[in-house]
């Protein structure tokens, strides 16, 4: 299957609607206070609803308390959560009782995380660069042997390189932010469309499906 497409760092209704019209499967709303793309629960709720019922709404968090994550996720009406940082396994398992979880890991954490979360209901791994949102791609070829089936991929992805990333790792989904922006939190519609089209174009192109 062609990987699912997530457009992260969405902050407003116009960008959410445009991404949905371009064919994105999911939108990411960042609630980590340190982010340049921080959005309120109210703004995320409005943008997510405007995008329509077929687009998944993912709340993105970094080392935030479980109660805060659950309160924000409910207020924003997200359909899944994505968690970054140093988090105990019990935290992630508890969260997965409420929402599907994308557990983000760095390359040096990938092997251990793949063993820990293999077959755990509600938890999917996402491999990201050490500095999420910085626009720096990973060395996909070097990671091929350790990349688990069903995992997602992020880190410096855009229209120019996502097909190569898919050919190397065959991820279940791809996530982009910085390469789709004109400024932090403001999408460039042409870049979003090109990214979605590049991912869709991998179907039938000889890449693993």
Using the predicted structure, report yes or no on whether residue 134 has a pLDDT greater than 70: no
pLDDT tens digits for range 41-90: 999 999 999 999 999 999 999 999 999 999 999 999 999 999 999 999 99
Instruction: Tell me the Ramachandran region of residue 54: left when phi exceeds 0, alpha when psi lies from -120 to 50, beta otherwise.
Output: alpha
- Architecture of domain 4-200 in this structure: Alpha-Beta Barrel (3.20)
For residue 70, the tally of other CB atoms under 10 A from its CB is 16
Q: What confidence tier does 208 reach under pLDDT thresholds 50, 70, 90? A: very low
Query: Among residues of the chain, what percentage have pLDDT more than 90?
Result: 90
Higher local confidence (pLDDT), 134 or 82: 82
Catalytic residue among 25, 128, 175, 179: 128
Most distant CA pair in the chain: distance in Å? 45
Using the predicted structure, report yes or no on whether residue 1 has a pLDDT greater than 90: no
Using the predicted structure, report yes or no on whether residue 38 has a pLDDT greater than 70: yes
Using the predicted structure, report yes or no on whether residue 13 has a pLDDT greater than 80: yes
- 179 given a catalytic annotation: no
Higher local confidence (pLDDT), 4 or 119: 4
Q: Which tokens in the block code for residue 200?
A: 């869709």
The predicted structure's pLDDT at residue 47: 98
* Contact between 162 and 199 (Cβ < 8 Å): yes
HSE, CB side, 13 Å, CA atoms: give it for residue 36. Answer: 10
């Amino acid at each position: 299957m062609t990987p699912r497409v997530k457009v992260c760092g969405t902050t407003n209704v116009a960008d959410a609607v445009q991404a949905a019209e371009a064919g994105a499967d999911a939108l990411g709303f960042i609630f980590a206070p340190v982010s340049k793309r921080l959005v309120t629960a109210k703004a995320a709720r409005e943008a997510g609803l405007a995008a329509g019922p077929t687009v998944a709404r993912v709340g993105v968090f970094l080392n935030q308390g479980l109660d805060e994550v659950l309160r924000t996720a409910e207020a924003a009406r997200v359909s899944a959560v994505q968690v970054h940082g140093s988090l105990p396994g019990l935290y992630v398992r508890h969260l997965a009782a409420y929402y599907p979880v994308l557990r983000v890991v760095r390359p040096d954490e990938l092997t251990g995380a793949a063993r820990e979360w293999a077959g755990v209901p509600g938890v999917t791994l996402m491999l990201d660069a050490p500095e999420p949102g910085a626009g720096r791609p990973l060395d996909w070829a070097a990671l091929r042997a350790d990349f688990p089936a069903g995992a997602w991929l992020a880190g410096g992805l855009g229209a120019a390189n996502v097909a190569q990333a898919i050919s190397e790792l065959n991820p279940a989904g791809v996530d982009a932010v910085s390469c789709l922006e004109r400024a932090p939190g403001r999408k460039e519609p042409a870049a979003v469309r090109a990214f979605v089209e590049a991912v869709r174009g991998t179907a039938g192109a000889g890449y693993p499906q």
